Amino acid sequence: MMKKYTNSADEKLFLKKICKYLILFLIFIFLHCISNGQDSTFKTYRVFFRDKGPEKFIPGSPLYQNTLKLFTARALNRRAKVMPSDSLITFDDAPVFQPYINSCLSTGAELKLKLRWKNYIVVLCDSLQSIELENFTFVKEVQPTSQKMTAVKYKGSISAQSVLFEDNNNTLYYDNCDAFNYGNSLNQAALMNIPLLHGFGINGKGVIIGFCDSGFRWKSLPSTQRASVLAEYDFINGDSSTGNKPTDVSTQDFHGTSVFSIVAGFSQGNLIGIAPNADFILSKTENISSERHIEEDNYAAAVEWMESLGADVISSSLGYFRFDSTDSSYAYSELNGHSTIVDRAVNEAVSRGVVCVTAAGNSGSAPETIISPGDADSVITVGAVLYDGVTPAGFTSRGPREDGKIKPNLAAKGVDVFVANAADPNLYNPGNGTSFATPLVAGTVALFLEEFPELTPWELRNYLETTASQANSPDDTLGFGVPDLFKAMEKAGVIISPISTFKMNKFQRIIAYIASANQINNASLYIRFDSLSPFEKFKLYPTSYKYQYAADIPLSLFTVPKADCYVIADDGFSTRRMPYNMYETITIIPNESEIQCGVDPSQLQELATTRNDAYVYPSIVGDNSQNINLVVPIMSESEVHIETYDLLGKNIYSADYPTREAGVATYPIPVNKLLNGSYFILVTYSGGITSIPFLVSR
């Protein structure tokens, strides 16, 4: 039987309990709703810090040393082109303070990205945790990544001197690979005069190119699986594989794979990349299933990482302007060259010596359709042309930038660009977009830097722009037009290719391609036959092939298994050394061959096997101070007559030598009694006469 309550003290107590439980229940329901509606909805946030911790950034300090460890020697050497020698690393380069990160993660937030230059991290957490993060005293601001990044500053510090350290990279290269058969990829390279440089053996070796894209299925494709990939990282999923994941849509890595193949691909008769012998760093930053600002954060983190590993060039066939409804989009007025997340990232990288190349976008043909970071101050923005190199592609985005600055900067073929197909390893198909024009220019930049590694990003861009197809009439559709790499290199100075070498009877033949906008006056090969001897000078003579110079070095001079050499050439206006760095040399292994990839072997072997004048001209060996020797490669039995003259034509020395059989003959030329100055030798042998200049200098 139900108990009846009357208006008594018990009834009042009961009602009070009911109200209390009801209030608690309502509070529970309210909190539960909040939990379901907000707290359990995880989002990504940028967490900006006020500083980088209490440690001082001075040489020898723990913070300084930890910062230094982030960079390879390649990165520091590249920075030395544009930064003072005592400031190769700066406070902005210092890592985000780990105790701050640990405190943030103690809230339950998950770390997604760390970005040093702007001193923030990206975390995945719920809204209540984001409030906890804001309450830390060392946190400057917390922003949802769905928002545009606002300008948040932190206290900086003076920069300090850096010390170089060595990399240890294992790389693969194409050597002795014959002349290039481009197949359907010829036109995209020929528009920029690339095949001529490939024919010299200039193919990207020694240059590091970084890519930001949607993923790379490079290991399974015949045209890219031998590419020299130094490192790769997936900034979306946080691992070291940039191919597709089980959670990715099936086409996630298609775009990046095709873009990469335009530079790194190598398949004779199908696809020849612009710089197949370069080294590569791959970054997966773009999620094709959405368009959100966090992809910009991924991009910025990737640029920092690739810069620290020594990237010389960073290519991105990506761009940002309109975003999903959950994220705020940009207004064109915000594309001012330095405001967006990706703008800031590429500008920072260029200030550290990296050449950044990016796509203009495919939103043409209206004006002011460039996407970011195509608006960035320091980036080379690339538009698209048709196969004729003149007609703009209808889709290519137009400038000018918000402030009237010309954009894009350059253009390349963007219609029917032949690429590797990630879905079919044996398929090479045409693709369209400024996405495909961009790597063509990035590869061109790599070839330029192989020859002229000392150029700063702005110097290199200036050479490309002022020699491009629209250099005299740039516009907001194609900028300065399609680059002509050979013209740009000629404007930069004397071009000296890597050497090719092989045994030819009793000689080691050395071949180099040398070109200039002016006539080459002198070209010389310097060889050190052992580590204790000085470099000996051999004249390089032009052959019947345009731009080709050669010297035949008697194998008898090689007394050790390896010799060091370098090449110097001048055109009356400038002198250039190859390798450019005076502390570097090239190794020659006598009796062995190394033919640069892309060099036509018929230009080398024909001289050695089918022609009567297979040997090049005589050379002088010696230190030019006491005695020199004239080394003559005699091709058939012949007498040798030698005469020495000064610049006034006065005969200083004459000698006749009896008939010699074919082979190497060495004749001493006494110079110990000659005054300092210039002289020349006339040598007559095998039915011909040759003049050789030499200098006496004590």
Q: Is 520 in contact with 546 (CB distance < 8 Å)?
A: no
Q: Based on the domain organization, do 505 and 584 belong to the same domain?
A: yes
Q: How far apart are CA 165 and CA 11, in angstroms?
A: 84
What CATH number should be reported for the domain holding residue 482? 3.40.50.200
Q: Based on the domain organization, do 223 and 355 belong to the same domain?
A: yes
Residue 34 belongs to a domain? no
Q: Which of 287, 293, 302, 317 is nearest to 349 (CA)?
A: 302
Query: Does residue 579 have a cis peptide bond before it, meaning omega lies within 30 degrees of 0?
Result: yes
Residue 331 has pLDDT above 70, yes or no: yes
Relative to beta strand 313-316, strand 208-213 is parallel
Q: Based on the domain organization, do 650 and 561 belong to the same domain?
A: no
What CATH number should be reported for the domain holding residue 514? 2.60.40.10
Q: Is 692 in contact with 643 (CB distance < 8 Å)?
A: no
Q: What's the confidence (pLDDT) of residue 29?
A: 47
Q: Based on the domain organization, do 643 and 578 belong to the same domain?
A: no
Token duo for residue 641 = 């007559």
Q: Based on the domain organization, do 622 and 607 belong to the same domain?
A: no
Residue 452 has pLDDT above 60, yes or no: yes
Query: Considering the chain, what percentage of its residues have pLDDT values greater than 70?
Result: 86
Residue 167 has pLDDT above 50, yes or no: no
Token duo for residue 536 = 């000996």
Confidence at 624, pLDDT banded by 50, 70, 90: low
Q: Which residue has the higher pLDDT, 365 or 168?
A: 365
**Secondary structure (H, E, C), 399-421:** CCCCCCCCCCCEEEECCCEEEEC
pLDDT tens-digit map of 510-557: 999 999 999 998 899 999 998 888 998 888 888 878 899 998 888 888
Q: What's the confidence (pLDDT) of residue 674?
A: 82
Confidence at 632, pLDDT banded by 50, 70, 90: confident
Ranking 73-82, 317-326, 427-436, 532-541 by mean pLDDT, the lowest is: 532-541
Residue 389 has pLDDT above 80, yes or no: yes
Q: Which of 585, 612, 639 is the last residue of a domain?
A: 612
Q: Which of 540, 535, 541 is nearest to 565 (CA)?
A: 535
Token duo for residue 320 = 């940002």
Residue 517 belongs to a domain? yes
Angstrom CA distances, 637 to 532, 633, 663, stand at 36, 11, 9
Residue 347 belongs to a domain? yes
pLDDT tens-digit map of 685-694: 766 777 777 7
Residue 473 Cα to chain centre, angstroms: 29
Q: Based on the domain organization, do 686 and 558 belong to the same domain?
A: no
Residue 621 has pLDDT above 80, yes or no: no
Q: How far apart are CA 514 and CA 508, in angstroms?
A: 19
Q: Which of 460, 490, 520 is the last residue of a domain?
A: 490
Relative to beta strand 541-542, strand 563-570 is unpaired
Q: Is 619 in contact with 539 (CB distance < 8 Å)?
A: yes
Q: Which residues contact 268 (CB under 8 A, 6 or more apart)?
A: 177, 178, 180, 181, 183
Q: Which residue has the tokens 């937030």?
A: 109
Q: Which of 519, 517, 514 is nearest to 496 (CA)?
A: 514
Phi, psi of 383 (to 5 degrees): -95, 180
Residue 377 sits at the vertex; the CA angle it makes with 214 and 273, to the nearest 5 degrees, is: 45
**Secondary structure (H, E, C), 436-471:** HHHHHHHHHHHHHHHHCCCCCHHHHHHHHHHCCCCC
Q: Based on the domain organization, do 367 and 505 belong to the same domain?
A: no
Residue 598 has pLDDT above 70, yes or no: yes
pLDDT tens-digit map of 170-217: 445 677 788 999 999 999 999 999 999 999 999 999 999 999 999 999
Q: How far apart are CA 592 and CA 201, in angstroms?
A: 18
pLDDT tens-digit map of 132-156: 999 999 999 999 999 988 655 544 4
Q: Is 173 in contact with 205 (CB distance < 8 Å)?
A: yes
Residue 78 has pLDDT above 90, yes or no: yes
Q: What's the confidence (pLDDT) of residue 25?
A: 52
Q: What's the confidence (pLDDT) of residue 16?
A: 57
pLDDT tens-digit map of 265-316: 999 999 999 999 999 999 999 999 999 999 999 999 999 999 999 999 999 9
Element (H, E) at 29: helix 9-34
Q: Based on the domain organization, do 640 and 511 belong to the same domain?
A: no
Residue 465 has pLDDT above 50, yes or no: yes
Mean model confidence pLDDT for the chain = 88
Q: How far apart are CA 285 and CA 306, in angstroms?
A: 12
Q: Based on the domain organization, do 504 and 369 belong to the same domain?
A: no
Q: What's the confidence (pLDDT) of residue 207?
A: 97
Q: Is 243 in contact with 215 (CB distance < 8 Å)?
A: yes
Q: Which residue has the tokens 């018990």?
A: 10
Q: Is 156 in contact with 162 (CB distance < 8 Å)?
A: no
Q: Based on the domain organization, do 461 and 501 belong to the same domain?
A: no
Number of domains in the chain: 4
Residue 235 Cα to chain centre, angstroms: 20
Residue 577 belongs to a domain? yes
Residue 335 belongs to a domain? yes
Query: Does residue 670 have a cis peptide bond before it, meaning omega lies within 30 degrees of 0?
Result: no
First-last CA distance in the chain? 128
pLDDT tens-digit map of 13-49: 545 555 555 554 554 444 444 444 444 589 999 999 9
Q: Is 117 in contact with 153 (CB distance < 8 Å)?
A: no
Q: What's the confidence (pLDDT) of residue 39?
A: 46
Residue 178 belongs to a domain? no
Residue 157, classified by CB atoms within 10 Å of its CB into exposed (0-12), middle (13-18) or buried (19+), is middle
Q: Which of 368, 249, 293, 305 is nearest to 72 (CA)?
A: 305
Q: Which of 612, 643, 664 is the last residue of a domain?
A: 612
Residue 30 belongs to a domain? no
Q: Based on the domain organization, do 58 and 79 belong to the same domain?
A: yes
What CATH number should be reported for the domain holding residue 632? 2.60.40.1930
Q: What's the confidence (pLDDT) of residue 164?
A: 33
Query: Considering the chain, what percentage of its residues have pLDDT values greater than 90?
Result: 69
Amino acid (1-letter code) at residue 644: T
pLDDT tens-digit map of 89-126: 999 999 999 999 999 999 999 999 999 999 999 999 99
Q: Which residue has the higher pLDDT, 160 or 137?
A: 137
Q: Based on the domain organization, do 464 and 534 belong to the same domain?
A: no
Task: Give the range of the structural domain holding residue 64, as residue numbers without chain letter.
Answer: 43-144
Q: Which residue has the higher pLDDT, 160 or 261?
A: 261
Q: What's the confidence (pLDDT) of residue 154?
A: 46
Q: What is the CA radius of gyration of the chain?
A: 33
pLDDT tens-digit map of 651-666: 988 888 887 776 667 7
Residue 169 belongs to a domain? no
What CATH number should be reported for the domain holding residue 137? 3.30.70
